[in-house]
Amino acid sequence: MVDGSELFCYGEHKSYGAFSVNRMDPLPAAPVIPPLPAAIELTLAGVALPRADGIGKKSDPYFIVHKGKAANVSKLDYSRLLYKSEVVKQDLDPKFNPFVLRVSDIGSYDDLFVIYVYDYDRDGTHDLLGSLSLNLRTLSFGPFEYRLETSKSTGGISVRDVKYLAGSNLIGNPWVPIPAAVRVKLRGQKLTRMDGIGKKSDPFIVVTDAKPSPTGRPLTLYRSEVVKQSLEPDFKMFDVPLTGFTNLDTDKLRVSMYDWDRNGTHDLMGSVEISLRMLSFTWCEEPIMNKGKSFGALVFESVVPIPAAQAAVLPVAVELHCSASRLARMDGPAKKSDPYFVVRAKRVPPPPKDSPDYPKIDATVTLYRSEVKKQDLEPVWKPFVLNSYDLGGLDVPFDFIVYDYDPNGGHDEMGRFTTTLREYIFGPYQSAIMHGTTSRGAFSVDEVIPLGAAKALIVAPGYRVNATAQRISKMDAGVTGKADPFFEIRCRFQIGPQKYTKDSLLLYRSEVVRNSLNPKWYDFDINMGLIGDIDNPVEIVAYDFDENGTHDLIGKFTSTFASGSSAITNEVW
């Protein structure tokens, strides 16, 4: 290019005038590029934006600033999100608040950042109006108006002001370092009707750590109350601990919305995965997605970092008040059921591997067995205490198993569910009692009382035991023949930490009860020093006595004295 050159401006192959270079003066050295500032403050406005809400309405625009151009606009990389503006309601020429971008977040003079402009929708599925790619070099030339990059030819963005800021003018991000916890105010918006025409939904939320826990189960951080019959639920403020969260972008929370059902089979409406960086912006509303469909929006009204001193203290034990509802009739159409439940958990510490020196120890232990509620489909049981250390921690899974009691000891399993102690520090909850894929009613934890100290299980040096049997099979020939039952208790004696004798040894043998199918034996004493631990297995073997010494086996089962510490056991022989 030389002095006097003329460049013709073409548009659609037609000249619209000429551009002339009149002088070009040589310089002794290349121009000095000014150093990059610490940050820039931008003031933006929209210009003649498209109407996204239909004829007669305008749009509700807002924008985000994204580092680099997104490969997929529908799935933005939120780790590259630099800013999110406020929403300006019903305005095609919105004027946005000034905002600050750190240059260190952008990169060099020529690294692109993209402004994506959206139309806000209450269901969280915000519509993209267009985008604008900029860099620091472009902004260095001052305010300017730009057309949005979109398939539509309408709308633009005006850069109204550009200010350079020194480092001393910057305010640190309150989320760096990551706080110990956050206080959250949340509500739902435009939720789907889950309970049929004419009804609404009964929503509640569960907040979990999006990454899997060592147990393989999501780590529950919070569960809300149920808001009955509402499509616009406003949940109580709550705290979420951020223990173990180290990165604003890769560490995420999953918020799942459920529709509560009385039988415990709560329907998943959808969920939202959200990074801490997203929560750190001025507002956050995301669609509740399930199988590619939005079931409404989740609105974070406020998310405030709080110090560790304000974070909730987790109890070492809880007292649980339990009931059940809508139980299946296990004893026939005209009868009800005789329900009781058992709490079973993995041994702490786990049993050793099988070897000739170790018995095959049951990997689970019974922590509690409730009383039996006779002929009741809506039972309310006595309260009981669960200790965190008995389970191995707040987040170690354990099982509730509900049975229908039978006098012959063949108690029918109605169903079960797996949970953690942490689930109950958030208050009452109902779980489906599942038998395969079928719910046989709901198990409800109606009240949870946190305890400051664990309830110690005191194991006595010995126990005086009273034992009976019921409905024993007839073992002796003849119409009037019954049985002459007696029983033996055998166990492998403990000879070291989790080490036992190879063979089981006789611990006790009862007297013979002559000619009885419902024997009641004399009380007897058991030395716990021989067994070693209340959770160590013992084998009970019942025989029918014969004078010739060939006593017939009636049956046997393996149990623990912990299993019998909650209620009188009645096992199948």
User: Which pLDDT belongs to residue 567?
Assistant: 36
Q: Domain span at residue 505? A: 462-565
User: Which pLDDT belongs to residue 211?
Assistant: 85
Same domain? For 338 and 443 the reply is: yes
State which H helix or E strand residue 389 sits in: helix 388-391
Question: What is the rounded CA–CA span in Å between residue 7 and residue 13?
Answer: 14
Does residue 27 fall inside a structural domain? no
Rounded mean pLDDT for each run of 10 residues along the chain, 573 residues in total: 54 73 86 80 93 86 89 72 92 94 86 93 87 91 89 81 78 75 94 89 94 80 94 94 88 94 92 89 88 92 81 77 94 90 79 50 79 95 89 87 88 93 86 93 92 71 87 79 90 66 81 92 87 78 90 85 50 48
pTM: 0.73
Strand partners for 559 = 538
Domain termination residue (choose one: 139, 169, 199): 169
Domain termination residue (choose one: 451, 475, 505): 451
Same domain? For 366 and 410 the reply is: yes
How many structural domains are present in the chain?
Answer: 4
User: Which pLDDT belongs to residue 494?
Assistant: 63
Does residue 437 fall inside a structural domain? yes
Same domain? For 409 and 469 the reply is: no
Which token pair is 501? 């004798």
Q: How far apart are the first and last CA of the chain?
A: 104
CB of 339 closer than 8 Å to CB of 372: yes
Same domain? For 485 and 387 the reply is: no
User: Which pLDDT belongs to residue 470?
Assistant: 83
Phi, psi of 338 (to 5 degrees): -120, 75
CATH number at residue 133: 2.60.40.150
User: Which pLDDT belongs to residue 9?
Assistant: 54
Question: What is the rounded CA–CA span in Å between residue 49 and residue 132?
Answer: 13
Contacts of 198 (CB under 8 A, 6+ apart): none
Same domain? For 47 and 150 the reply is: yes
Does residue 457 fall inside a structural domain? no
Does residue 350 fall inside a structural domain? yes
Which token pair is 8? 């013709």
Q: What is the maximal distance between C-alpha atoms in the chain?
A: 131
Domain termination residue (choose one: 271, 292, 310): 310
Does residue 282 fall inside a structural domain? yes
Same domain? For 433 and 495 the reply is: no
Does residue 486 fall inside a structural domain? yes
CB of 276 closer than 8 Å to CB of 175: yes
User: Which pLDDT belongs to residue 312?
Assistant: 56
User: Which pLDDT belongs to residue 415?
Assistant: 95
Task: Supply the DSSP symbol for 520.
Answer: B
